[in-house]
Structure formats: C-alpha cells, structure tokens
C-alpha cells in the first residue's frame, strides 16, 4: 500500500500516521521528497479496508498495490486455468463456441436449434430452464422439464450443456443435467450462491454483473474458488453505461485486462452485450480478436416467436456465417476454433 501524505505535513501528524500503520501490523518505509512524503506499508492483508488509512489526519491518497483477491489472481497462479470437460478444454488454445436459445421452450424448439448449432461447430448447447427475468410477469422458464429437454437434445448432437442456476436450492437438481453452471449477471453478487457453487462438482461460468467493476467480478470468482471449486470461467456480457442505443455496453477491454490479472478463462457474450441481432457478429469477431476464450451466442430458428430475447437471437444462417468469420479471426491470432 502506498500512502501519499499532505504537502508539508507536520511532524506530529506524520508520527501519528506511522503509529497507526504500525499498529495495523505494517512495516513502514518513508520516502521524503521536496514537499511531500510518501509512505510504503508492507504486509497488507487481503481483507484490509484501506479506508482506515484514508481517514487518518494528514493522508491525501492511498493506493493498494496488491489485489484484494488471491486465488483468482495471476500472482497466485501463473499458468492459464484450463477447464477440461469430456473432450473439450476451455481456456486452452481453442476458442469454444456455446450457442442455443435464450430459453428452452419446448422439445421441437431445442432439438431444432441443437441440430443447427452443432452442424456449424458449436461444442456447448446453452438454454435457460430457470430464467432471471426483470419482470415477474415474463416467461420464467420450464424448470426441470427444460433441463431434461436440454440434456436430451445436447446428447443427441454430441454437445455439452450450460444452463443457469439462480438459487442454491436448484444446484443439486441442475447438477444432474448440466456440464457447466451459468451464473447470470443479476446474481453475480449473490454470495451465498457463489459459496455453494464453490462446493459443487461442475464448472461455473460467472457472468459479469450489470454494474460490476472488474474487481467486483474477481471478488465473486474468489468466493467460488475459495470454497473449493477451481473450475471457474468468467463471462463478459456487457455493462450498464449512459449509452442506451445498445442493450448494454460491451466492455471489450475486459478480455486483455482480465487475462493480465487472472488465470481464469474469459468468455464473451455479444448477444446480451448488444441486445440487437445485427450487432452480434461484429462484436463476436472483436471479442475473439481481443482474446476471448469462448463465445456464448443466442440462436433461434423462429425468433419472432421466441419466449425471451428474440430480437438478439441469430437466425440459423447468421450463426453459420458468424462461425465462419470467427474461425478466421481465431486463425489470425494463432488460435483454433471448431
Ligand atoms: C442469459 O444468458 O440468458 C441471461 C439471462 O444472461 P445475463 O445474465 O447475462 O443477462
Ligand atoms: Mn437471454
């Protein structure tokens, strides 16, 4: 931690700040400039609240140097985390495609879409059976029936399954059907759910919260990791900004930023990030170019009748075109896809 003291601080205040830092258990180093003194405090624990120093008389700025998260950081683990599920690796050289409808609606729908996405090279079938809708009056998902259909469709087309878990009480049930738990943006800071997913046996994809900083996101991942589940991947799905022309604002810089500070794989969801069908392909290309380890894309053969997120679902031909184009981008940056 670096502490910048106010200009021309008097001796008494300086001593008081140093005494507090020592009482907190830090080793203190002093650098004296012409007008200003900077203190270095060594030995900051992950849970130390730096505001305790910010409020001391004579302190003007405090900067934390070490991250407040540990297990999720590159400092803790240098090599990339590779999540192996059956014959698929997430976080390796291959960029993995997850695709499917927003919600599982009925047998015909999920089997039709599974066939389409598998034919174009997707490896993982997505589809919500429990839906976190903003309105309680919107379609809430088929529940267990949806899970069964999703699993059956995925098995038929040799795909893995990813589906959302909204609450702790659903973990056991969903674990029987899914290969990856999806945590939705609205649940990123549901810490009791994170803790319980930390004890689950399947990997977790943690979506970034609507208004979460990268640090908030990493702290949520830390909850899962610190409870024992090491197979965590992150998913950038757009954040709330002042811009309203797209559903959310896709934070493309999240890919290089997170890859630098963390060893966890990062997936891109250009569907929820933009919310508009024709914006999905360009942002998918951009995400792969920026280093995404996988893509999650919504696809529907009849989006006008979709029970959720129809306007952002790609039509089958558009999905095939997207796969073709992102494969080319992956190749340019030395990665494989499909
Ligand atoms: C979804 O994937 O269908 C979903 C609800 O996403 P998010 O949590 O990112 O809004
Ligand atoms: Mn959706």
pLDDT, tens digit, for every residue of 192-218?
999 999 999 999 999 999 999 999 999
Per-residue pLDDT, 45: 81
Per-residue pLDDT, 158: 98
Per-residue pLDDT, 66: 85
- 104, 249, 272, 295, best to mutate for ligand 1 pocket (most atoms within 8 Å of CB): 272
What is the C-alpha to C-alpha distance for residues 80 and 66, in angstroms, rounded to an integer? 20
Q: How far is the CA of 235 from the centre of ligand 1 (A)?
A: 10
Which residue CA neighbors atom 10 of ligand 1 most closely?
Answer: 185
Q: How far is the CA of 272 from the centre of ligand 1 (A)?
A: 7
**Does the C-beta of 100 come closer than 6 Å to ligand 1?**
no
Cα–Cα separations (whole angstroms), residue 254 to 220, 268, 318:
16, 10, 26
Which residue CA neighbors atom 9 of ligand 1 most closely?
Answer: 185
Mean pLDDT for each consecutive 10-residue tract of the chain (338 residues)?
95 96 95 92 88 96 91 97 98 98 98 98 98 93 97 98 98 98 98 98 98 98 98 98 97 98 98 98 98 98 97 98 98 95
Q: How far is the CA of 185 from the centre of ligand 1 (A)?
A: 6
Per-residue pLDDT, 314: 98
What pTM was computed for the model? 0.93
Which residue CA neighbors atom 4 of ligand 1 most closely?
Answer: 184
HSE-up (13 A, CA, CB side) for residue 101: 33
The atom of ligand 1 lying closest to the CA of 185 is: 8
């Amino acid at each position: 931690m670096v502490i910048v003291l106010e200009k021309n601080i008097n001796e008494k205040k300086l001593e008081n700040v140093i005494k507090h830092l020592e009482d907190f258990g830090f080793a203190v180093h002093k650098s004296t400039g012409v007008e200003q003194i900077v203190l270095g405090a060594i030995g900051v624990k992950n849970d130390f609240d730096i505001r305790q120093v910010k409020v001391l008389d004579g302190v003007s700025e405090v900067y934390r140097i070490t991250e407040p998260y540990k297990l999720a950081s590159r400092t803790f683990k240098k090599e990339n985390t590779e999540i192996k599920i059956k014959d698929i690796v997430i976080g390796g050289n291959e960029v993995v495609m997850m695709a499917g409808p927003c919600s599982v609606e009925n047998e015909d729908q999920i089997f039709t879409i599974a066939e389409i996405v598998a034919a174009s090279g997707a490896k993982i079938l997505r589809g919500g059976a429990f839906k976190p809708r903003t309105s309680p009056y919107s379609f809430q998902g088929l529940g267990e029936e949806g899970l069964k259909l999703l699993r059956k469709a995925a098995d038929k087309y040799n795909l893995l399954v990813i589906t959302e878990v909204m609450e702790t009480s659903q973990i056991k049930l969903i674990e029987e059907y899914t290969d990856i738990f999806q945590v939705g943006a609205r649940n990123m800071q549901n810490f009791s759910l994170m803790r319980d997913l930390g004890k689950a046996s399947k990997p977790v994809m943690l979506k970034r919260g609507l208004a979460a900083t990268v640090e908030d996101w990493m702290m949520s991942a830390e909850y899962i990791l610190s409870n024992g589940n090491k197979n965590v991947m992150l998913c950038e799905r757009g954040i709330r900004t002042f811009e309203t022309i797209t559903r959310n604002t896709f934070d493309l810089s999240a890919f290089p930023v997170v890859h630098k500070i963390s060893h966890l794989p990062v997936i891109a969801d250009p569907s929820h990030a933009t919310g508009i069908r024709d914006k999905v392909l360009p942002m998918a290309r951009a995400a792969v170019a920026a280093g995404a380890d996988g893509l999650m894309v919504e696809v529907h053969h009849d989006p006008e009748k979709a029970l959720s997120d129809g306007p952002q679902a790609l039509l089958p031909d558009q999905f095939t075109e997207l796969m073709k184009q992102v494969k080319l981008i992956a190749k340019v940056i030395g990665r494989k896809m499909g």
